[in-house]
Structures are given as structure tokens and as C-alpha cells.
């Protein structure tokens, strides 16, 4: 039997080793990697300052408050700042106690929802910022993660970025978000459960094993530095999905060292620049996938996951819960690694 995609027809179903989820790879339905390049011909130029944007300097009256900020070496200009989300999904001034409604279970909408403004300039983006600016952003992620875990009611902290309208970004000014919750969603519990089951069976971390295999196989690796490797996973759920995984086993994002934070910023900046150049600035979401509040258990391993918005889920995927990826990870990785491909 020929390898999937050799003739552009064969499909294959692959399993995500960490979650046991299956993904259908259907290259006959797909495009060549460069056909995923986005079209932005209609976009108007973005100004460096917008008088109506609440995140631009001088518009602080539009913000509830400034929680924390990082300034340049002179102290004259902020480089990144944390502010409350003006329209939060969750709020901190309510109880975390669950209650019954008949046979159903509910709880107040407890949590903390914040925005990390990534630059004072309205027209910037992570892919085109300076490495130093991205380094400041990673430091803000780390410090805010530690700060929010000081509250024992916060059992999960999710750091994420929505880029582009199809990814859910409602404001153009470059920003990330942080949500802390008093409960743990099923998807994260399932990921933790599968990692624990793998560890209990084999005595090893499934993410460490996955990383070791990818670095040995090399077909899907797109970037590597002293502390991190980035690769398109074997069972990627969408074209160009990419994981940035710490080489040193770390169960929780709080364990990252200063040197590793510098390497993470370089890896993230380089990878987003690749996507920006090769796919013409696609919409995407990224999340720092780290576990719920734990005692640094040996089966857990955090990583940063980037998911470009290049395809749309349809009926079978919604009904079955399985993903259909029209692009093979090996082809996507080769495209990102080819300096001549555009």
C-alpha cells in the first residue's frame, strides 16, 4: 500500500498519542500548502495610533484601570500592560460554590478575564515586532500567570491570543488575553487523564516521548533552539497546526526559567514570522496549554499550540467530533522549511 497522499487520493486516519483523538487526513480534498495563503488585498493601512482605540497611549480614560505594565529602559514608555477586559466572560466578585437546579448543576460566573496589550503601537503585530518586544510579552505572560495563581480560587489559567476576525479578535490593536477559572473544563481534564494513564502504564511522559520521536524523525520539525522544538504534530487537527514544546520536562508553565523564556520568545517570534510570510498573515489562535492547579505531577507537560484558521468545520466534524485535515503535516512542515517556497 502506498503512503497516504502519494497519488493525491489516499486517505489515512491518525491518532493523537497524547489525547487518543483520531484525525482524518484527506489529501484528495485539499490544496497544496501554498494554496492556503490568505488574501488581504482589501485591507486598509493601519495607523500607528487610533484615537478611538482603548489600548492606544493617551486613551487610558477608556480603560477600567491598568493592572500592571512593563516599561522601557528609560521608564518613559510602557512596552506591555495588563488591563481588565471591558466585557469579561467571567468576574471575580462572585462565589465559586456550585448549586443544583433540578437535575442540573450550575455555579456563578466566577473568574478573572484580562487583556495583555502587547505594544503601544496600534499597527504592530507579533510576527513583525522586534524580538525584544516579544521577549517582554512572554515575561508578561509568566508574571501574570504567577500573580493569578496567588488566588486559591483560580484553579485554571488560560493564556491565549486571537489574531484576525475569523479567530475571534474584535480589536486590531495587538493583544493577548488571560482567563482564570474556578473550575476545570472537561477537555483539559481529559488531556490530563490520558497523560496520567500513559505515565501509569509506561512510567514516562507522553509529551516527552512525542517530542523525542519528532526530533528523531525530523519530518515535521520546523524550528529548534536550546530550550524548545516546534513541530506540526503527526495528527494535526488543521493545516499548519504547530506545537512549541519545552525540551526540559516541565509540568506547568510556572516552571519555565528566565533563559527558557528568552528561547520561547525567539521560537514564537520566528514561527509566527514564518506563518506571516509563507501564508500571508493568516488568522490564528494560540494557547498555552498547561494543566489545572497541580503539584507538578510527572505526567504533565505544558506546550504552546498554534492553530491557523485556514479551514472550517463542517457537518461530519461537528456531528462526530473528529477532524478532517486536507493537508498532510509532512507537506506543511516541508513548505515552512523551504526558504524558496512562497
Write out the chain's pLDDT in tens, 342 residues. 344 544 455 899 999 999 999 999 998 876 667 667 776 655 678 899 999 999 999 999 999 999 999 998 888 899 999 999 999 999 999 999 999 999 999 999 999 999 999 999 999 999 999 999 999 999 999 999 999 999 999 999 999 999 999 998 989 999 999 999 999 999 999 999 999 999 999 999 999 999 999 999 999 999 999 999 999 999 999 999 999 999 999 999 999 999 999 999 999 999 999 999 999 999 999 999 998 887 678 889 999 999 999 998 899 999 998 999 999 999 999 999 988 655
| Distance, CA of 135 to CA of 206 (rounded, Å) | 29
Predicted confidence at residue 44, as pLDDT, reads 75
3-state class (DSSP) for residue 277:
helix
| Distance, CA of 256 to CA of 262 (rounded, Å) | 10
Predicted confidence at residue 291, as pLDDT, reads 85
296 is catalytic: no
Residue 268 has what DSSP assignment?
A: H
The domain segmentation of the chain, as residue ranges, is: 61-95+107-181, 185-337
| Distance, CA of 217 to CA of 211 (rounded, Å) | 10
Given a contact cutoff of 8 angstroms between Cβ atoms, the answer to whether 173 and 122 are in contact is yes
Residues 6+ away with beta carbon under 8 Å from 217: none
Selecting among 173, 175, 276, 301, the annotated active-site residue is 175
Domain 61-95+107-181 and domain 185-337, same fold? Reply is yes
3-state helix, strand, coil in the chain (%, to 5): 30, 25, 50
Give CATH for domain 185-337: 3.30.428.10
Residue 303: CB atoms within 10 A of its CB come to: 22
* pTM for the model: 0.93
Predicted confidence at residue 341, as pLDDT, reads 58
Predicted confidence at residue 1, as pLDDT, reads 37
Q: Which CATH architecture has domain 61-95+107-181?
A: 2-Layer Sandwich (3.30)
Predicted confidence at residue 6, as pLDDT, reads 47
Instruction: Please name which of 194, 239, 205, 200 lies closest in space to residue 329, comparing C-alpha atoms.
Output: 239
Amino acid at each position: 500500500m502506498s503512503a497516504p497522499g502519494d497519488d493525491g487520493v489516499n486517505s489515512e486516519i491518525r491518532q493523537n498519542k497524547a489525547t487518543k483523538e483520531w484525525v482524518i487526513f484527506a489529501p484528495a480534498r485539499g490544496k497544496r500548502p501554498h494554496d492556503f495563503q490568505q488574501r488581504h488585498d482589501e485591507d486598509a493601512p493601519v495607523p500607528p495610533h487610533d484615537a478611538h482605540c482603548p489600548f492606544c497611549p493617551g486613551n487610558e480614560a477608556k480603560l477600567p484601570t491598568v493592572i500592571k505594565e512593563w516599561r522601557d529602559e528609560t521608564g518613559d514608555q510602557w512596552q506591555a500592560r495588563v488591563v481588565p477586559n471591558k466585557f469579561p466572560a467571567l468576574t471575580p466578585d462572585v462565589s465559586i460554590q456550585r448549586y443544583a437546579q433540578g437535575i442540573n448543576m450550575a455555579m456563578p460566573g466566577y473568574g478573572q478575564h484580562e487583556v495583555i496589550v502587547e505594544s503601544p503601537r496600534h499597527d504592530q503585530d507579533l510576527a513583525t515586532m522586534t524580538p525584544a518586544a516579544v521577549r517582554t510579552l512572554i515575561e508578561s505572560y509568566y508574571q501574570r500567570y504567577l500573580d493569578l495563581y496567588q488566588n486559591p480560587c483560580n484553579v485554571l489559567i488560560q493564556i491565549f491570543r486571537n489574531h484576525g476576525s475569523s479567530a475571534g479578535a474584535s480589536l486590531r490593536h495587538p493583544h493577548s488575553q488571560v482567563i482564570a477559572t474556578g473550575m476545570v473544563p472537561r477537555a483539559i481534564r481529559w488531556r490530563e487523564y490520558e497523560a496520567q494513564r500513559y505515565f501509569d502504564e509506561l512510567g514516562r511522559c507522553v509529551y516527552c516521548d512525542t517530542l523525542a520521536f519528532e526530533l528523531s524523525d525530523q519530518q515535521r520539525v520546523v524550528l529548534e533552539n536550546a530550550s524548545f522544538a516546534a513541530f506540526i504534530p503527526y495528527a494535526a487537527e488543521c493545516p499548519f497546526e504547530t506545537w512549541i514544546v519545552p525540551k526540559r520536562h516541565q509540568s506547568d508553565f510556572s516552571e519555565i526559567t528566565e533563559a527558557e523564556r528568552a528561547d520561547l520568545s525567539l521560537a514564537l517570534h520566528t514561527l509566527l514570522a514564518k506563518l506571516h510570510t509563507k501564508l500571508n498573515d493568516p488568522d490564528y489562535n494560540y494557547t498555552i496549554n498547561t494543566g489545572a492547579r497541580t503539584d507538578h505531577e510527572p505526567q504533565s507537560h505544558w506546550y504552546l499550540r498554534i492553530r491557523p484558521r485556514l479551514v472550517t468545520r463542517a457537518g461530519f466534524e461537528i456531528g462526530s467530533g473528529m477532524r478532517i485535515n486536507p493537508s498532510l503535516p509532512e507537506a506543511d512542515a516541508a513548505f515552512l522549511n523551504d526558504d524558496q517556497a512562497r
